[in-house]
């Protein structure tokens, strides 16, 4: 996916996360913090590709990361997200530097990158170092004009603000109680409430 596609998809994702009240900080957060936080990190996973928009500007970390992990390796995994959250919260309390709503939006922006890359045939290794690639079959094919990518991203951006406030994306999804309990524990430990 192109940088343009990632920006549009991240914008839609952060709007949707706020509208769905994904975390209390996002539900009550400031729109400007949330949008800025999501857009700030949406290209960060591509630091592993020296020819990416971010890799061209930050060559000193991009080249070693590319040699060590390869493109769409560690930086596109859930392990990278968890490691980033832990590193950031253990080293610097997010409230002292970055507002909590912006911090949560930064996580959404980072996650949106991998979600968008799952729409491409190459997919992403969410469970890295396991090499399994997760992808949604036959959504976006590589093309020179990227019109389908742009259309999917813009459709997502049009949908996001229309979503009703405080409602889940899917209303009647049967989630086992054990999964809900596990999610609440993970959410409480990784994303501290205000």
Portion of the chain with pLDDT greater than 70, in percent: 85
H/E stretch holding 33 reads: helix 31-41
78 burial type by CB count under 10 A (0-12 exposed, 13-18 middle, 19+ buried): middle
Residue-wise pLDDT for 94-116, tens only, equals 556 788 899 999 999 999 999 99
Residue-wise pLDDT for 37-66, tens only, equals 999 999 999 988 888 888 888 888 888 888
The whole model's pTM is what? 0.79
158 burial type by CB count under 10 A (0-12 exposed, 13-18 middle, 19+ buried): exposed
- Interatomic CA distance for residues 13 and 20, integer angstroms: 10
Mean pLDDT of 68-88: 85
Mean pLDDT of 140-149: 69
3-state secondary structure of 140: coil
Residue-wise pLDDT for 113-129, tens only, equals 999 998 888 889 988 88
- What does the domain layout of the chain look like in residue ranges? 3-190
- Interatomic CA distance for residues 186 and 190, integer angstroms: 6
Preceding amide of 129 cis, omega within 30: yes
Q: What is the mean pLDDT of the chain?
A: 83
User: What pLDDT is stored for residue 193 in this prediction?
Assistant: 56
CB 118 within 8 A of CB 136: yes
């Amino acid at each position: 996916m192109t940088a343009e596609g990632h920006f549009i998809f991240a914008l839609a994702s952060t709007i949707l996360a706020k509208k769905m009240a994904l975390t209390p900080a996002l539900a009550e957060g400031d729109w400007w913090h949330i949008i800025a936080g999501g857009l700030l990190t949406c290209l960060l996973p591509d630091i592993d590709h020296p020819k990416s928009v971010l890799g061209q500007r930050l060559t000193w970390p991009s080249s070693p990361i590319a040699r060590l992990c390869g493109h769409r390796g560690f930086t596109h995994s859930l392990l990278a997200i968890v490691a980033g959250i832990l590193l950031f919260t253990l080293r610097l309390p997010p409230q002292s530097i970055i507002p909590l709503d912006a911090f949560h939006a930064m996580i959404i922006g980072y996650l949106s990158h991998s979600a968008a890359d799952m729409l491409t045939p190459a997919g992403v290794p969410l469970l890295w170092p396991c090499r399994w690639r997760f992808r949604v079959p036959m959504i976006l094919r590589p093309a020179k004009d990227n019109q389908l990518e742009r259309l999917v991203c813009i459709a997502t951006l049009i949908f996001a603000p229309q979503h009703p406030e405080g409602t889940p994306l899917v209303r009647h999804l049967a989630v086992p109680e054990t999964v809900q309990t596990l999610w609440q524990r993970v959410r409480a430990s990784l994303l501290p409430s205000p």
